Amino acid sequence: MRPYTYLLVNFACILIPVIASFYKKYPFCKDWKAFFKGNLIVTLLFLIWDWYFTNIGVWGFNGDYLLNIYIADLPIEEILFFICIPFACVFTYFALNSLITNNPLNNIQSKITIILIAVFTIVSVLNFNKLYTLSAFGLCAMYLLYLKLRKVNLAFHYLTYLCIFPFFLASNGILTGSLLEAPIVWYNNSENLGIRIATIPIEDSVYGMLLIFLNIECYRYFKTKNIQNTEKAFI
* Residue 118 counted as domain residue: no
Residue 117 lies in a domain: no
* Per-position pLDDT tens, the chain of length 235: 899 999 999 999 999 999 999 999 999 999 999 999 999 999 999 999 999 999 999 999 999 999 999 999 999 999 999 999 999 999 999 999 999 999 999 999 999 999 999 999 999 999 999 999 999 999 999 999 999 999 999 999 999 999 999 999 999 999 999 989 999 999 999 999 999 999 999 999 999 999 999 999 999 999 998 777 765 655 5
- Three-state SS for 13-53 is HHHHHHHHCCCCCCCHHHHHHHHHHHHHHHHHHHHHHHHHH
DSSP string, 82-110: HHHHHHHHHHHHHHHHHH-SS-TTTTTHH
Is 121 inside any structural domain?
A: no
Tell me which residue range forms the domain holding 74: 2-102+153-233
- Buried residues in 149-160 as b, exposed as e (16+ CB within 10 A): eeebebbbbbbb
Query: 27 in a domain, yes or no?
Result: yes
Residue 198: left (phi > 0), alpha (psi -120 to 50), or beta?
left
Radius of gyration of the chain (CA): 18
Residues 172 and 204 sit within 8 Å (Cβ to Cβ): yes
Q: In whole angstroms, what is the distance from residue 225 CA to residue 34 CA?
A: 9
Residue 36 in any domain: the answer is yes
Contacts of residue 230, defined as CB under 8 A and 6 or more positions apart, other chains included, come to: none
Report yes or no on 11 lying in a domain.
Answer: yes
Count CB-CB contacts under 10 A for residue 88. Answer: 23
Pairing of strands 196-197, 70-71: unpaired
CA separation for the pair 33, 146 (Å, rounded): 25
What local confidence, expressed as pLDDT, does residue 228 receive?
A: 73
Q: How far is 81 from 84, CA to CA, in rounded Å?
A: 5
DSSP 193: -
Number of domains within the chain: 1
CA quadruple 19, 25, 30, 34: dihedral positive or negative? negative
**Tell me, what's the pLDDT at 231?**
57
Assess if residue 49 is contained within a domain.
yes
Q: What pLDDT is recorded for position 179?
A: 87
CB 188 within 8 A of CB 57: yes
Residues 168 and 208: beta-carbon distance below 8 Å: yes
